[in-house]
Amino acid sequence: MNSFVYPGVAQGFRPISEQGTHQFQFVPYGTTERGTILEYLPCTQECWLLVFAGLHGEEAEGTMILSRTLRLLRHQPEHTAVILCANPEGMALGTRGNRNGVDLNRNFPASNWKSAPVECRIILEAPRVTRLSPGKTAGSEAETQCLMNLIEKLNPREILSLHAPLGFVDCPQPTPLTQNLSAALGLPWVQSPGYETPGSFGSWCEDRHLPCVTLEFPRESAETLAIRYVTPLASLLFE
């Protein structure tokens, strides 16, 4: 294993000895109801792309991959802003929803938001019987409101949302980023996930005519995903 070279090394990225920590300054974009700081990495110039992970607290692989991709970079991104974890309390609790038990990806005030309980699967093979709340009202959660406010402020041209473990690139109308991600990561493009997603972040974006790509990492270990994807993601998202 001594000859193994981690992707990114010797390709103009940061020395691997420095990749253990972040070098860029994250700044708050709000707080949760109980005061946990929500933070993001601003870009240095006009924002073209916002990438975020961890809206579902059970999908830690997205946060880890995005973090490692960011740690490869020598310079702060010029046109890409990053949120490593949009649901930090859910992530800390290891739950899909936030601390209030709300599936944040069903809490956005899209025209299709529904007050009915969200029925999700505890694992892929399970039936959709695990219930979460879509929130008391559309947009009820602080994490949802803060993310919407940040998007209002940054006014990105496109958004990339990281999820797992379905293994596809989802975008109703494929953008160049959709096609590039699909080709570089070897994941199929789909027009929809194949089930209804009322109040999802993607639905909210669609209402606003804001292109939103959902990248669903496949069902692999976080380390396998990192080996496979950090280099192409660094090239696609930050250059």
Longest dimension (CA), the chain: 55
Where on the chain is the footprint of Zn ion (CB under 5 A)? 56, 59, 163
Burial 200-216 (b: 16+ CB within 10 A, else e): bbbbbbbeeebbbbbbb
Query: What beta strand segments (E) does 70-175 contain?
Result: 80-83, 118-120, 130-132, 158-163, 166-170
Kindly tell me which of 77 and 99 has the beta carbon lying closer to Zn ion.
99
Tokens 């096609």 correspond to 179
Shortest distance (Å) from residue 91 CB to Zn ion: 12
Shortest distance (Å) from residue 213 CB to Zn ion: 14
Shortest distance (Å) from residue 145 CB to Zn ion: 19
Shortest distance (Å) from residue 166 CB to Zn ion: 8
> Which pair of structure tokens corresponds to residue 150?
């940040």
Q: How many CB atoms lie within 10 A of CB 60?
A: 16
User: What's the rounded Cα separation, in Å, for the pair 60 and 221?
Assistant: 10
Kindly tell me which of 165 and 232 has the beta carbon lying closer to Zn ion.
165
Kindly tell me which of 41 and 53 has the beta carbon lying closer to Zn ion.
53
Q: Annotated catalytic, 216?
A: yes
- Please state whether the peptide bond connecting residue 193 to the residue before it is cis, i.e. omega within 30 degrees of 0: no
Catalytic residue among 216, 220, 223, 239: 216
Kindly tell me which of 59 and 61 has the beta carbon lying closer to Zn ion.
59
Residues classed as catalytic: 216
